[in-house]
Copies of this chain bind each other. A is one copy, B any other.
Amino acid sequence: MKNQYPSLLLEKAVCEFAKLPGVGNKTAMRLVLHLLKQEQAAVEAFGNSIIQLKREVKYCKVCHNISDSDVCNICSNPKRDSAIVCVVQNIRDVMAIEATQQYNGLYHVLGGIISPMDGLGPKNLEIDSLIERVAQGDIKEVIFALSTTMEGDTTSFYISRRLKDYPVKLSVLSRGVSVGDELEYTDEITLGRSIINRMPYQINEL
């Protein structure tokens, strides 16, 4: 089939947008034509926002979260409890936990989880830097807040082995039936584990 695009510039832009995850050629075309209808300044703002982010983005040298400065707002906040570190896969998880407003400790962003299928081993992740943070001695508790998948469990297990000689408490997000879920629609593994890991009944916890 011959080239369907009336303009090489258009084709280039559509191809770039179609590289985005979950964006096919038709959606890419729709997005590009939408942008083309906007003002020149708006299009420049759009294009430059991502270029500027990529050029100037920094990662907190303590927790490796995205930051505008060398140490992020969370790590540098004296009101946060620096004795607790929550280990997460990526910055979206930081934002998800922050949105709950239930956690006042610090974070450590691994940048992924151990996944041999994707060629991601411990050396590709911020694990050594986590061990160093713990080795400094101020951290009392490490919370594993990784995906409840084989890869997430493997990563938690690997880190727990690396930390076994340090006097630090290890904990993991509680697993069980989601709040608001019907029991009959909960998957068998979750339900089975939630029976095994049943907790003391306390009215104010529910």
The listed residue (B15, B45, B91) touching A6 by CB distance below 8 A is: B91
User: CB within 8 Å of B: which residues of A?
Assistant: 1, 4-10, 12-13, 15-17, 19-23, 26-27, 29-36, 38, 40, 43-58, 60, 65-68, 72-74, 90-92, 94-95, 98-99, 101, 184
- With a cutoff of 8 Å between Cβ atoms, the chain B residues found around residue A36 in the complex are 53-54, 57, 66
Whether B53 pairs with A32 at a CB distance below 8 angstroms is yes
Main secondary structure of the interface of A (DSSP, over half): helix
The listed residue (B7, B35, B53, B74) touching A13 by CB distance below 8 A is: B53
CA distance A177 to B56 in the complex (A): 50
On whether A92 and B29 interact (CB within 8 A), knowing A35-B54, A36-B53, A51-B43, the answer reads yes
The listed residue (B10, B21, B94, B99) touching A66 by CB distance below 8 A is: B10
Looking at the assembled complex, report how far the CB atom of A20 sits from the nearest CB atom of chain B, in whole angstroms. 5
